[in-house]
Amino acid sequence: MEIKIVRNVLESNDKIAAEIRQRTAASKTLLVNLMSSPGSGKTTLLEKLAPLLQNKGYRVGVIEGDIATTMDAERLQPLNIPVVQINTEMFGGDCHLGAEVISPALDNLDLSQLDVVFIENVGNLVCPAEFDTGADLNVVLLSVTEGEDKPLKYPLMFRVCQLALISKTDLLPHLEFKMDLLRQNIQKINPKIAIFPVSTRQGEGLSNFTEWLVERLNK
Amino acid sequence: MEIKIVRNVLESNDKIAAEIRQRTAASKTLLVNLMSSPGSGKTTLLEKLAPLLQNKGYRVGVIEGDIATTMDAERLQPLNIPVVQINTEMFGGDCHLGAEVISPALDNLDLSQLDVVFIENVGNLVCPAEFDTGADLNVVLLSVTEGEDKPLKYPLMFRVCQLALISKTDLLPHLEFKMDLLRQNIQKINPKIAIFPVSTRQGEGLSNFTEWLVERLNK
């Protein structure tokens, strides 16, 4: 009985996710789902990335997902881009964003005027990987402070993503962290995933990520 | 229908949690549930803390919770203490430890020979806070690299804990991090919670945490 209901929830989510892909394909909007542990730097990445994409002529929007507060949406205000905040506390403090909350969030954006919309998922390296948001691309951030073992311990997240960004590389001199070991661990889980080290402080890797996105925007 | 089943699951979990408390009270074993985001330093903390408690004559055991791998249990091998590994991948990759998995884990420990058992929960700042493990004490770790805003954005975790450990304080010189602001944000959510900054590298705060535990062990 329980299993049946869980399956229904996932089937219903997948159906809405498919509808989202039809909508974003029609408006030629790329939907990118950013996932990570809390505090890996998703919001800071968006603060730095949006101007780089705007400079190249792309119109950017953001869907912010948090259990509580509008702090992240407020941080993005200076960018002057459309931002929709979802607070999952309204639906019981959900630990992830499902397609059923992304769909009404998209209603609040004029997709005909947007080339790329980023979803900043709830900070959680587990549950967001289990729910299709309707995004075209899944990207995981992992900060170097979290340790090289995380891809092996949280494998689903690295399986469902096309790109892994290794964030906060400016802290490497102060850590015992082996980038090669992390790369090996990620590739054990997903040999096809792209991997870019990034530092929003030093600007490292931002152009790699921008080019990677532009390639997919022009498809 | 769905709501009824979810309630049943939580009711059943609470019933098992109550049974766990009866068992640990009978054996005079303190059960401590450690929770945090991935990579905040739970395993490293246990590596440093267990010898301090052993030096004071307390017998320590650990229940390790991970979605996959036995890496954390292996790291604790040199301590020569009983360690039970739970892999939630066996039950669908659960994002938290519930009382229903803690209970059989306790069957694998001789509680009559243990004064304190630590549960290292799955790395996740959201879901573990929603499920009573049967522990006597809930402790959250938050590393300074995660940012001061996290208590406001993940409020339930800070509501259910009696102690917040602010970890990796040795990295403070390399971060723009305001400890006072973090304390304010934690206290906004839970005015009664104890707060200790800790650095397992420099040893800061470990004696505070040890004393806090010893006080509760002697009750």
Q: Is the pLDDT of residue A5 over 70?
A: no
**By C-alpha distance, which of A122, A118, A105, A19 is closest to A68?**
A122
Q: Name residue, tokens 């792309």.
A: A58
Q: Does B171 touch chain A (CB under 8 A)?
A: yes
Q: Read off the pLDDT of each residue in B104-111 and give the average, rounded to a whole number.
A: 97
- Rounded to a whole number of angstroms, the CA Rg of chain B reads 17
Nearest by CB to A149, from B9, B71, B174: name it.
B71
pLDDT in tens, A68-117: 999 999 999 999 999 999 999 876 788 999 999 999 999 999 999 999 99
Amino acid making up residue B16: I
Q: How do residues B139-174 score in pLDDT, each as one tens digit?
A: 999 999 999 999 999 999 999 999 999 999 999 999
Mean pLDDT of chain A: 94
Q: Which residues, in sequence order, are bridge partners of residue B65?
A: B86
Judged by CB atoms closer than 8 Å, whether chains meet at B123 and A37 is answered as yes
Is A154 near chain B, with CB under 8 Å?
A: yes
Residue B206: pLDDT above 90? yes
- Looking at beta carbons, which residues of chain B come within 8 Å of A156? 67, 93
Q: Tokens 């080019």 sit at which residue?
A: A211
Helix (H) or strand (E) holding A213: helix A206-217
What was the ipTM of the complex prediction? 0.92
- Report how far residue B94's alpha carbon sits from residue B92's, in angstroms, rounded to the nearest whole number: 6
Output the pLDDT for position B2: 46
Residues 6+ apart with CB under 8 A from A125: A35, A36, A37, A140, A142, A150, A154, A157, B37, B38, B123, B124
Which residue from B minimizes the CA distance to A92?
B130
The structure tokens listed for B58 are 């307390």
Sign of the dihedral defined by the CA atoms of residues B106, B109, B111, B116, in that order? negative
Helices B2-26, A2-26: axis angle to 10 degrees equals 120
Which among A2, A145, A155 has CB closest to B145? Answer: A145
Interface test with A, best of B37, B76, B142, B200 (most A CBs within 10 A): B37
Tell me the residue length of chain A.
219
Contacts of B85 in chain A (CB under 8 A): none
Element (H, E) at B194: strand B194-197
Four-point Cα dihedral A39, A43, A45, A48, nearest 10:
-140
Q: What is the pLDDT of residue A7?
A: 64
CA distance B153 to chain A (A): 5
pTM: 0.94
- C-beta of residue B33 within 8 angstroms of C-beta of residue B64: no
- Interchain contact A42–B (C-beta under 8 A): no
Q: Which residues of B touch A93 (CB under 8 A)?
A: 126, 130, 156
Q: Which of A124, A143, A177, A185 to mutate to test the interface with B (most CBs of B within 10 A)?
A: A124
Minimal CA separation from B106 to chain A, in Å: 23
Among candidate residues B117, B154, B35, the one with its CA nearest the CA of residue A71: B154
